[in-house]
Structure 1
Amino acid sequence: MKLYQSLGPNPRVVLMYLAETGLALDRQFVDIMAAENRRPDFYAKSPLGHTPFLELDDGSHIAESIAICEYLAETHAANELLGATPEQRARTRMFVRIVDQLVVVPMTAGFRGAEGLPMFRDRVLCLPDAAADLKRLAASGLEAVNNIIGAGPWIAGERFSLADIILYAFVEFGAMVGQPPDPALTHLAAWRDRVAARPSAAASANPQQGIGELA
């Protein structure tokens, strides 16, 4: 298998998942700044031109970070990050969807309509007139997640999960693109410090690290 990755929070989700599980994959870096992901041959592998995507041994492809992590959990790694029981896996997926809908979607759209507009305006539909409101939606989502975390330690309670990985990747992304979390969200701040202390946080910070070194 080969993982095609790039800059950005979604590729970081998969890199952090790999670091948590110890699973090694051959990896190739895609230069999205140069629009390598907008070429016709790329769309043949990733339907929306998104990174990351996983190329399987039979030549087929799986795109989207959550789908890739779930596939790897089912086929190559233990299920700790999804959950050991149907109930745990359902709760993980519940929080993954909450984070995705309340934080990821509005944060990404807000970025593309504002700071990211020069890069994305000719690639995807951008909403500059709605950017400020989309950022407000993302901030409201972070407030909701802060309340869910509470005393924690993790989103799903005592178990670190894929939902924590996704949230962390986008909290860090938001902090770099003008959407930092409100310091008043103290549960989220403490949670962020706990995740940052995990080796996988540092291991996933550089998407080009290890390219060509893994078999």
Structure 2
Amino acid sequence: MSESARFNMVEAQIRTSNVTDPRILAAISAVAREKFVPSAARALAYADVPVAVAQGRYLLDPRSFAKLLNLAQVTATDRVLDVGCATGYSSAVMARMAAEVVALEQDADLVRIASELLATAVGKVEVVQGGLIEGVKGQGPFDVIFVNGAIEQVPETLLAQLAEGGRLVTVIKDGQSRAWLFLKQNGKIGQRPDFDADVPLLAGFKKAMGFIF
């Protein structure tokens, strides 16, 4: 049942959204999304909606998740910081594509759940508990920073942890709700909008001094 649901999700929601990178499709196809959602919500695991897994934490809808992955252009040599990993689904997918994933979550219960679920994940994943805005300074810089949800502004603390050539992808709600790519080149951060994406706000981010955009 789950394998057929996963196949249908990839074919109907992801391929039709112009995500055709075989590495993304293979990684998403290989991870059982239903294992990362509460049992009461498993009927929604492959639906085209965000799935709540805790207060202020969601699995992004498959289309938005896949398109953000496509925007991030994760490669096999990349070190990835997964911000707001929740139960670890996004980290499990990216671990199949990258050299290493650091899964950051501030909620202690979610850290425990993600650690258990990712213990058998393919690839190298480390779950770290900490504030989302702070990132994981001691383990940077990162080639990719993936923010799991919408935020109002991007904190400088995260941008400062990008490696040269690094990419940060997120959805910014500023009247509109769009995916953005932040790219570090020659020590400077460039940015551009990409696609419309109406995803839930990620708890743990608030507008404050030290934010960009």
When normalised by structure 1's length, the TM-score is 0.30
Whose radius of gyration is greater, 1 or 2? 1
* Structure holding more helix per residue: 1
* Structure holding more strand per residue: 2
When normalised by structure 2's length, the TM-score is 0.30
Greater relative CO, 1 or 2 (CA 8 Å, sep 6+): 1
